[in-house]
Structure 1
Amino acid sequence: MPSWLARQLAEVMLGTFHAEKSSFPLGPELVGNELAEETWLGTYQTGPDYFYRFVKRKGGYWLERPNRDPVEIEWEAGAVYHEINDPAFKQHFDYDSTGRLQVTAYYPTHDPYSLQRVTGIEGKQDYSPWLGTYRDTDSGAVWQIVAGRRGEIEALRGDRKMSVKQYIPNQLLVGGFRVEATPPEEGNIDTLWVSSSRLHRVKFERIED
């Protein structure tokens, strides 16, 4: 089961039961100093498939996560923010032992967990190196990555069409799949590595269309 799904199920199933009393930390013991927005806005990741992306739009701050609707957050105190519609969900920004910026999430139904700052995707992207047809030589399964009508890309797997999101370099999120690639110095991507809750880095190689 993907880590994001496990967290989502825990929040839904245990939220009511633990609403009044929680054995988990509800926030940091030591609150750091407030950070300038240009310092903390951006993308944070833990593991290969879960990330937070903090953006500013519509005059406010928003948190984007895989397979979840964006939520609006606001400043609480120091380096702590919380979700406007669910203030128990807090995010605290600080630096880890290596000096890397991180965000730690707190909620009454689970242990805190931290995500480290990564180089995210900003602005319009050039998806052309991804476009093409790829085949798993073991199973014969075929994926196509094609251009959409509005500059985005889509993935075709048999008769199934799936939307594609990209938040960090060299990785696509396609439905419940994570698609990774090592970009060549020039030209198109030749190999995709596809993972999911049931698959681990299955190799797909580019074939001629």
Structure 2
Amino acid sequence: MLDSKKVATINKVLAKGKLVALGALVGILLGVGGTIFFQNCNPPGEDKGAAATAVFGRFVEQTELVGISQDYCIVDKYPDVETFFDLFDLPWTANSVWYRYAGTLKAGVNMDTAEMWPDGTVVHVTLDQPYIISNTPNMDISGVLEENNNILNPIHVEDVDEIHRECIRISEENAVEGGLLEEARIQAESDITTLFKSALGDEYNVVFDWRAA
């Protein structure tokens, strides 16, 4: 098996790809739909609270609001060497794998747990913190680039599986540290605000309350 300590200390390369604001399109489409719906209904001022509830109900039906998408690519060398009772390395047992792992991360908000209540021209929205919805690998380019095998310490399938898991961990850890969840939070607020203002009017303000993680 790979030496976990050495794997953990290897330089990690995360090539951040495009950040795609998927939620913006969703917000615009739903906002336009909401505008048409409420223009047809033409609710009086005192019914705006019920209208806000109806708008939010439509939005919650999505369950998940995908706020942001990020492509990434990790290329790294993963060495392994046997040791003598963990006292020192046995250099003639060294092997290594050059591995590339690429994919797309999506982060967003769970709308199934969202809550909303109107207060005059203010709409209060409570949401759970954004989270990574999916981490989808690009198998067309992911995989082993080079193997330096060793008959005294052969590379096993489970070694490659361990590298795969390590790459997933690195990709998500770097994305969080790079602000992906914060981007998803900003996008979610923008989409929901756009929806309410399109349906109810610019005089309405949306206040967000994010639950603790």
> Smaller-chain TM-score range?
under 0.3
TM-score, normalised relative to structure 2: 0.20
Give the helix-richer structure, 1 or 2: 2
Give the strand-richer structure, 1 or 2: 1
| Structure with the greater alpha carbon radius of gyration | 2
TM-score, normalised relative to structure 1: 0.21
Higher RCO structure, 1 or 2 (CA under 8 Å, sep 6+) = 2
